[in-house]
């Protein structure tokens, strides 16, 4: 039996508009339970596991390291947390002799970033099975070099990357996430606008689509993997005290037949819960009846990546969707009464007319909560390979999706003031 310590990084993204121009409204704050770590912990039943969420307990690291004396430390994080993940790894190495393992979406898309002396292993992909395999190998002191998805760091030398396995076996469905490990933080995970406790459930991994900017491909190597309906129902049932469930999948409805079955199972389950889930606009248009059934089952809001306003821009980002689909989906969802959280991406190439156009679009359509980000070439994505030559800011602390890391067409201060004004106007009448 080993002591396994899993760490979720603190809020650490930086903001160019705040630092240079005093515009603080664009700073990103992440909040939500560290489901990826709870899933890992669910497959480590033979060990003693603790989770530290530094977003909820920012000063807990030293205390926990001294108290727990871990054998293995796992650190997850997204791209804007990557520098902090390395700092945390160095702090762990200074304080104890634990093996340090890095995982998460940035590690999966750009493992070379973590080829560092403070890191022993990098786990790429979903990790639930692979991390447990690695812990087993470490405990028995056996060779780790053939473990798919596990990379031994070699600072100063190129990483050798074993092939990533992408099958439903990696979801280890027979073992649910260990939600108990974060119960002391549960009050931090709320929908701020409503003051309602929010529980996270994963029902699907990856996405069948290939948008250039999207980092989700790294999670599964491009596959779309789904949990069985019974598994999803079981996991939701574990969150007894959470009246609202966020299905955290990048695309909950990527397989329409399964999504219809899941909606019906939710209805039959008798849970008195509400759900938030991601869907594409073309799926809404193709399956309005499915959305009506989901509404009956408790679907309160959908998150849709509308991204841009015209077909040429959508095509340039390989969205494989049309502006008319976006318009029709808005009208269908308004009609059914499902709240729309709409994602839009502002390009650093936006000029005054582009901002005006997006502002008009948002004021003339009923999108209940627009979410507006700046197009960011995240390392490991096709967009990064395309735009690499234009990047002027390589500090990943700024890759929060609210900073321009390439040059802006407008004067930079003007770009951020228009962006901030757009966000403020569109949130004035926000509903969720
Ligand atoms: S549809 Fe959404 S989740 Fe899928 S690749 Fe595009 S942006 Fe990513």
Q: Which of 337, 334, 347, 276 is nearest to 308 (CA)?
A: 347
- Residue-wise pLDDT for 257-284, tens only, equals 999 999 999 999 999 999 999 999 999 9
Question: Is it the case that residue 308 has pLDDT exceeding 70?
Answer: yes
Q: Look at the block and give the residue holding tokens 């890095």.
A: 102
Measured distance between the N- and C-terminal CA atoms of the chain, rounded to whole angstroms: 45
Mean pLDDT of 293-310: 97
Confidence band of 190 (pLDDT split at 50, 70, 90): confident
Reading the block at residue 152, the tokens are 């031994």
Cβ atoms of 263 and 297 within 8 Å: the answer is: yes
Please tell me the distance from the alpha carbon of residue 13 to that of residue 5, in angstroms, as a whole number.
23
Confidence band of 426 (pLDDT split at 50, 70, 90): confident
In angstroms, what is the span from residue 210 Cα to ligand 1's centroid? 6
Q: Which CATH architecture has domain 3-168?
A: 3-Layer(aba) Sandwich (3.40)
Question: Is it the case that residue 26 has pLDDT exceeding 90?
Answer: no
- Cα distances (Å, whole numbers) of residue 120 to 1, 89, 92, 129, 316: 20, 9, 12, 18, 39
pLDDT of residue 163: 66
Q: Whose CA is nearest to atom 1 of ligand 1?
A: 209
pLDDT of residue 37: 98
Helix (H) or strand (E) holding 345: strand 339-346
Reading the block at residue 186, the tokens are 């549960």
In testing the pocket of ligand 1, which one of 214, 316, 326, 371 has its CB within 8 Å of the most ligand atoms?
A: 214
Atom of ligand 1 nearest to the CA of 213: 7
Handedness of CA 407, 413, 418, 421 (dihedral sign): positive
pLDDT of residue 162: 67
Percent of all residues in the chain with a pLDDT value above 70, rounded to a whole number: 98
Cβ atoms of 56 and 31 within 8 Å: the answer is: no
Q: Whose CA is nearest to atom 8 of ligand 1?
A: 214
Ligand 1 site residues, Cβ closer than 6 angstroms: 207, 209-211, 214, 216, 250-251, 280, 305
Residues of each domain in the chain carrying CATH 3.20.20.70? 189-428
Confidence band of 175 (pLDDT split at 50, 70, 90): very high
Residues of each domain in the chain carrying CATH 3.40.50.280? 3-168
pTM of structure? 0.95
Mean pLDDT of 344-369: 96
- Residue-wise pLDDT for 218-263, tens only, equals 889 889 999 999 999 999 999 999 999 999 999 999 999 999 999 9
- Would you give the distance in Å from CA 118 to the centre of its chain? 25
Helix (H) or strand (E) holding 67: helix 61-68
In angstroms, what is the span from residue 339 Cα to ligand 1's centroid? 20
Q: Average pLDDT, whole number, for the chain?
A: 94
Q: Which residues contact 287 (CB under 8 A, 6 or more apart)?
A: 253, 256, 259, 260
CATH class of 189-428: alpha beta
In angstroms, what is the span from residue 223 Cα to ligand 1's centroid? 12
Please tell me the distance from the alpha carbon of residue 387 to that of residue 407, in angstroms, as a whole number.
11
Q: What value, to the nearest 5°, has the Cα angle with vertex 274 and ends 273 and 280?
A: 140
Cβ atoms of 379 and 408 within 8 Å: the answer is: no
In angstroms, what is the span from residue 305 Cα to ligand 1's centroid? 8
């Amino acid at each position: 039996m080993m002591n396994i310590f899993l760490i979720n990084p603190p809020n650490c993204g930086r903001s160019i508009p705040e630092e240079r121009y005093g515009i603080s409204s664009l700073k990103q704050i992440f909040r939500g339970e560290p489901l990826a770590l709870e899933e890992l912990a669910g497959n480590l039943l033979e060990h003693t596991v603790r989770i530290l969420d530094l977003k909820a307990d920012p000063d807990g690291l030293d205390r926990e390291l001294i108290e727990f004396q871990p054998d293995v430390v796992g650190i997850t994080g997204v791209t804007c947390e990557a520098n902090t993940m390395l700092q945390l790894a160095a702090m762990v190495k200074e304080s104890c002799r634990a093996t340090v393992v890095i995982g998460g979406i940035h590690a999966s898309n750009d493992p070379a970033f973590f080829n560092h002396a403070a890191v022993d292993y990098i786990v790429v992909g979903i990790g639930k099975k692979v991390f447990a395999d690695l812990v087993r190998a470490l405990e028995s002191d056996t060779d780790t070099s053939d473990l798919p998805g596990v990379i031994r760091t070699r600072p100063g030398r190129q990483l050798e990357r074993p092939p990533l396995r992408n099958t439903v076996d990696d979801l280890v469905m027979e073992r649910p996430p260990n939600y108990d490990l974060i119960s002391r933080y549960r009050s931090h995970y709320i929908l701020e606008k409503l003051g309602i406790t929010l529980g996270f459930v994963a029902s699907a991994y990856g996405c069948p689509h290939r948008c250039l900017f999207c980092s989700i491909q790294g999670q599964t190597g491009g596959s779309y993997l789904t949990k069985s309906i019974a598994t999803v129902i079981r996991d939701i049932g574990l969150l007894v005290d959470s009246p609202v469930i966020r299905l955290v999948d990048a695309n909950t409805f990527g397989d329409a037949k399964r999504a219809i079955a899941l909606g019906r199972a939710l209805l039959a389950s008798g849970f008195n819960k509400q759900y938030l889930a991601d869907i594409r606009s073309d799926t809404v248009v193709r399956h309005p009846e499915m959305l009506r059934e989901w509404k009956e089952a408790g679907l309160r809001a959908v998150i849709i990546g509308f991204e841009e306003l015209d077909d040429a821009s959508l095509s340039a980002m390989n969205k494989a969707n049309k502006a008319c689909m976006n318009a029709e989906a808005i009208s269908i969802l308004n009609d059914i009464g499902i709240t729309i959280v709409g994602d839009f991406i502002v390009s650093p190439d936006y000029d005054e007319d582009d901002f005006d156009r997006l502002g008009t679009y948002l004021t003339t359509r009923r999108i209940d909560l627009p979410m507006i980000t700046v197009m960011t070439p995240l390392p490991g994505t096709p967009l990064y390979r395309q735009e690499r030559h234009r990047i002027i800011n390589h500090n990943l602390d700024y890759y929060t999706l609210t900073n321009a890391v390439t040059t802006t067409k407008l004067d930079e201060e003007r770009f951020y003031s228009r962006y901030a004004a757009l966000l403020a106007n569109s949130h004035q009448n926000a509903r969720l």
